Amino acid sequence: DQQVKQNSPSLSVQEGRISILNCDYTNSMFDYFLWYKKYPAEGPTFLISISSIKDKNEDGRFTVFLNKSAKHLSLHIVPSQPGDSAVYFCAASLNRDNYGQNFVFGPGTRLSVLP
Amino acid sequence: DGGITQSPKYLFRKEGQNVTLSCEQNLNHDAMYWYRQDPGQGLRLIYYSQIVNDFQKGDIAEGYSVSREKKESFPLTVTSAQKNPTAFYLCASSYLVYNEQFFGPGTRLTVL
């Protein structure tokens, strides 16, 4: 059973408009969340993160919102650009043992920004 | 330039053969990780290592083995015991806990 879900496998948005990517999780013990962006045949690159003590984090055009009670987070991209077209992975961290944090990834959402 | 390298980018092997995927980082990161990506699924953790000479199984370690003899290197061996080895394999590293992981470019393994 997936602990981190991204229920939309794909999303298409017009250039200049807002892109909203959603992520839901089931484990209330997750306390740190990240978004990664991945282009084809490349490794994911870190985009933005949020700790469970916050409900919002902004970095330029990217904003992540966290709703702990709903176990939901979202990534907003404003304005969307064609270069944003990629697969976006949501990831959550769970304290697995005394060694530290490891991440559980969602299945990804493919964003297409249309010119 | 600092970063993570994985080689080769594409790898083909015959069924029943072991194969080792390389992962090297010069970021001075303590922790390194191996993930597998299959179509329609998120990245799944195979093995991780927080320090040299120590590593732990992830969610799907069966059929895989690793070593961490040097801080910079974390090779993954896909053994013949792995039932579905064809996949995209990603290596990552991180400096401290709570920091994001940095990923290599990946190796696509195809077993014929």
Best mutation site among B6, B30, B41, B43 for testing chain A: the one with the most A CBs within 10 Å? B43
Query: Which residues sit opposite B21 in a β-bridge?
Result: B76
- Total number of residues shown for chain B: 112
Q: What is the 3-state secondary structure (H, E, C) of B32-89?
A: EEEEEECCCCCCEEEEEEEECCEEEECCCCCCEEECCCECCECCEEECCCCCCCCEEE
Q: For position B99, what pLDDT does the model report? A: 65
Peptide bond into B75 cis (omega under 30): no
- For A37, the closest chain B residue by CA position comes to B103
- Integer-rounded Cα radius of gyration of chain A: 14
- For B98, the closest chain A residue by CA position comes to A101
The pLDDT tens digits of the residues spanning A64-110 come to: 999 999 999 999 999 999 999 999 999 998 764 444 457 889 999 99
The pLDDT tens digits of the residues spanning B58-91 come to: 889 999 999 999 999 999 999 988 889 999 999 9
Which two structure tokens, joined as six digits, stand for B87?
Answer: 């996949």
